[in-house]
Structure 1
Amino acid sequence: MSIPNFLSVKNVAEQLGVSQQYVRSLLRSCQLEGQQVGKQWLVSPTSLESYVNSEGVEPKDHVARRTGPLPKLKALSFFSGAMGLDLGLEKTGIHVLLTCEVDKHCRKTIATNRPDVALLGDVWQYSAQDIRQAAGLSDTDDIDVIVGGPPCQAFSTAGSRRGFQDVRGNVFLKFIDLLLELKPKYAVIENVRGLLSAPLAHRPHAERGEEWAPGFEEKPGGALLHIIQTLRAGGYGVSFNLYNAANFGVPQSRERVVLICSRDGNKLPHLKPTHSQNETFGLPKWKTFREAVEGIETLGCDHVNFPEDRLRYYRLLGPGQYWKHLPENLQKEALGKSYYSGGGKTGFLRRMGWDKPACTLVTSPNMPATDICHPVEDRPLSIQEYKRLQMFPDDWQLGGKLVDQYRQVGNAVPGGLGEAVGRAILAHMAGHDIQPPPGFQFSRYRDTDEVSWEAATRKILGLDPVDIKPTKIKPKVKKIVVEAPQMQLFEKEPT
């Protein structure tokens, strides 16, 4: 049955480039207006046009909180994304008054789910005083926590790793400046593992001659060492480690560097795990994919699709298998030239296993080298499964089209890791010294804590650990042009 001038769910799905099930989800959540005739949904062209237009409208900054008295524990969030880290903190009673985000789809997510929270855009456009005012704070109100995950691409091992030469690296330094000016009791900084080895300056491989040797600024670790030295010079005690979120109840193996800084100059203990891989240390075993998606069939299944030429390989793989479980002739056929490249190539053709945590979620589960397939169904993971694996509430509404939603959730900090950070801060506030089990391994890597990492990094950089002082870099909006022999960020004290 059809009605003139009305569109079927199939018509709308084709125009939006999404599945019919996703269109029905939009109708159920009233993001798209329609009427049901029998078992069929019908949508007017006007409603579809309104939805398409609204998707392109970016929420404006609102520089004032919209609700009453200040909460007991006050937090400000920068580079907020879809608010994964913020939601974890909220579970421990630390409430976000202000968010700061430039991505229009993330901004829509924030405005939809937390309309009473102040929403700012480009961090360069606001002073510390502007930020206080937007959050509803006076000059004398103490800020309990500032959290932020500055853009990570400048430090990612998968990118060009231009560090502080990259404009996003400069935003990192801008964030540190703001943090020191706002002087919160605690600061939390989250980033990718690549931050541990990122240099201050990076020389592209094409510019390295046969006799090239890294200068001081091009040696690994300089970027993070500068950051922690700057924080310490501002009076903060700094502890950090590389944490696998699975150790904190997240049904996903995901490693992130988390720095926790305390204004009193003392270092917080490392985060206390709630789970372990093999039930060691008297802790329950890591949560599994099966546990995460229990009952999810009632929520719908909105997903992108694999091309047919890839599906024929997936149909030969069982739960927990990937390309290496194919016959050798099909391995070569499926991977093409990538078969002969180096590395483990574990991101190709991988089905999730039921009874272990998911792999690290990526921003798109159907890309050739990072695809993530359901354990038994021949499809990528759905956005509903993505949300469960990152510990977002089922009713958390995401702005943008389906591809934008995957990116937001894939980039987020899992709620369980944020909750562990919140618990550590509350324990320190209360004067409790809660230590993790001695010898607990937080990730696949060793020597990633601030003590052993710094000792190794200073050795690599040729720095004496007792006579180093940070020299402040003034961040710029434009890319910094660095000449390695001239850029000196650490100086020895005069003798």
Structure 2
Amino acid sequence: MRVFSFFSGSGFLDLGFETNGFDVAFVNEFDPEFMRAYQYARQSMEIEPPEYGYYNGDVNVFLTDAEKRDELSRNMEAVRAQGELVGFIGGPPCPDFSIAGKNRGREGDNGRLSLSYINLIVQRQPDFFLFENVKGLWSTKRHRAFFEELKEMVHAAGYSTTERLTNALEFGAPQDRERALFFGIKNELLGEEHTGNEILNFPWLRYQVHTMDEINAYLWPENQDFEEGGERMMPDGIPEELTVQHWFERNHVETHPNAPHHFVPRAGLAKMQLYQEGDVSKKCYKRLHRWRYSPTAAYGNNEVHLHPYHARRLSAAEALAIQSLPEEFTLPPDMTLTAMFKTIGNGVPYMLSSGVARTIHDYLTEMNIEQ
């Protein structure tokens, strides 16, 4: 099975597919620094480049430029000629649907890209697709109406779909991050299994390792006074794999190539020492607790995440760990700090992308869906 990736960022979503039975055949990303980071990370992990290459530019060219449109179609047909399924995966930029972002919805520059992605699916007709976005598109009333319009478009184009609002914590990432997931498959591939426009037997929960009810019931430690370099034993009765400290140790963040990469605040060390370990209640400064999970790893909008027991901001290595990426995933050392943290914050937590990719792979395999 091969996927064509759009709005790829540095490839956190793609990596979940690459490590769970899919080949990424093509990559499209608008930001040149994100694209460079994508390629750098794949080289460091010794992952082969996509067969049909990289395109650094606006996704709309595949709708408006005849040459690019035809090239994409030819590549898709070449995959199908080998008896393989073609999938589209992507998460259009989401600040226009985010409560913490611009909230301009469908009229925003980024909001319109969701329509572009759906138009691309409708016009190019991949065998299946995944659309991921922020909770706001799925749950906010005025944005939900837009999502329903997008859904009707793919239904009218011959797809059955299923959707779910999920949290990265459910799949083992140490981060409270909700994502709307929207999966579709061509009706003609479902055959007798096709009834209406809803997929009724999609195994969304198969690789879920925690439920939110379970997570919320654990006795997570309270806030504690900050102590530079201080040590604290892990409390009993909590899942270690959901803690920040577990992932710091797992990824060897102190010796990771991106360990030196962190912002130095203008206010100096004094302000860094004012916040208790675990105090994430403030709008701006949030100090993580080593034995709890992180808030959403979104580092824009003046949100500053502080190290649990050092008087500084998180390093890129630590942020990558909170995104549950493998230790081998690294960003270019000459990338700007702004670009590093933006691409990290924009990405889908790897444990979530991996679980979703495995679920899709199982579904397509068990349904015996073939070209």
User: Is TM > 0.5 for Structure 1 vs Structure 2?
Assistant: yes
User: In the alignment, which residue of structure 1 is the partner of 2:315?
Assistant: 382
Q: Is the 8 A contact 1:190 1:257 kept in 2?
A: yes
Q: Deviations over 1:17-49 (max 9, x none)?
A: xxxxxxxxxxxxxxxxxxxxxxxxxxxxxxxxx
User: In the alignment, which residue of structure 2 is the partner of 1:394?
Assistant: 327
Aligned-pair distance for 1:347? 3.0
User: In the alignment, which residue of structure 1 is the partner of 2:13?
Assistant: 85
2: CA distance, partners of 1:355 / 1:244: 19
Aligned-pair distance for 1:348? 3.1
Query: Match for 1:150: what amino acid?
Result: P
2: CA distance, partners of 1:151 / 1:414: 15
2: CA distance, partners of 1:93 / 1:243: 22
2: CA distance, partners of 1:377 / 1:245: 26
Aligned with 1:353 (options 289, 295, 309): 289
Change (3 A) 1:401 1:136: farther
Q: Is the 8 A contact 1:128 1:178 kept in 2?
A: no
Aligned-pair distance for 1:224? 0.6
RMSD of aligned Cα (Å):
2.7
2:338 corresponds to 1:403: yes
Aligned with 1:169 (options 111, 121, 132): 111
2:260 corresponds to 1:304: no
Aligned with 2:70 (options 105, 126, 129): 129
Aligned-pair distance for 1:279? 6.5
Q: Is the 8 A contact 2:106 2:143 kept in 1?
A: no
> Please, which runs of 5 or more residues in structure 1 have no aligned partner?
1-72, 200-218, 323-344, 434-495
2: CA distance, partners of 1:220 / 1:297: 41
2:129 corresponds to 1:187: yes
Aligned with 1:371 (options 298, 301, 304): 304
Change (3 A) 1:125 1:298: same
1:159 is paired with a residue of what secondary structure?
Answer: coil
Change (3 A) 1:220 1:154: closer
User: In the alignment, which residue of structure 1 is the partner of 2:231?
Assistant: none
Aligned with 1:270 (options 200, 204, 208): 204
1: CA distance, partners of 2:299 / 2:310: 20
Query: Match for 1:101: what amino acid?
Result: E
Q: Deviations over 1:97-150 (max 9, x none)?
A: 101111010111123344722111221223543224457836746543210101
Aligned-pair distance for 1:231? 1.3
2:243 corresponds to 1:288: yes
1:308 is paired with a residue of what secondary structure?
Answer: coil
Aligned-pair distance for 1:247? 0.7
1:458-473 to structure 2, matched below 5 A, reads none
Q: Is the 8 A contact 1:239 1:270 kept in 2?
A: no
User: In the alignment, which residue of structure 2 is the partner of 1:421?
Assistant: 356
Change (3 A) 1:397 1:136: farther
Query: Match for 1:314: what amino acid?
Result: M
Aligned-pair distance for 1:422? 1.1
2: CA distance, partners of 1:130 / 1:363: 37
User: In the alignment, which residue of structure 2 is the partner of 1:257?
Assistant: 180
2: CA distance, partners of 1:279 / 1:101: 35
1:471-482 to structure 2, matched below 5 A, reads none
1: CA distance, partners of 2:362 / 2:2: 16
Aligned-pair distance for 1:321? 2.3
Q: Is the 8 A contact 2:8 2:27 kept in 1?
A: yes
1:225 is paired with a residue of what secondary structure?
Answer: helix
Number of positions where the alignment pairs a residue of Structure 1 with one of Structure 2: 314
Q: Is the 8 A contact 2:61 2:69 kept in 1?
A: no
Query: Match for 1:416: what amino acid?
Result: M
TM-score (normalised: structure 2): 0.76
Query: Match for 2:109: what amino acid?
Result: V
TM-score (normalised: structure 1): 0.58
Aligned-pair distance for 1:280? 9.5
1:261 is paired with a residue of what secondary structure?
Answer: strand
Change (3 A) 1:414 1:138: closer
2: CA distance, partners of 1:220 / 1:166: 12
Aligned-pair distance for 1:183? 2.4
> Please, which runs of 5 or more residues in structure 2 have no aligned partner?
43-47, 63-67, 218-237
1:154-233 to structure 2, matched below 5 A, reads 154-197=96-139, 219=142, 221-233=144-156
Aligned-pair distance for 1:240? 1.3
User: In the alignment, which residue of structure 2 is the partner of 1:315?
Assistant: 273
Q: Is the 8 A contact 2:166 2:181 kept in 1?
A: yes
Change (3 A) 1:348 1:139: closer
2:78 is paired with a residue of what secondary structure?
Answer: coil
Structure of larger gyration radius: 1
Query: Match for 2:246: what amino acid?
Result: E
Aligned-pair distance for 1:269? 3.5
Q: Deviations over 1:68-105 (max 9, x none)?
A: xxxxx211100000100000111211111101111010
User: In the alignment, which residue of structure 2 is the partner of 1:46?
Assistant: none
Q: Is the 8 A contact 2:87 2:126 kept in 1?
A: yes
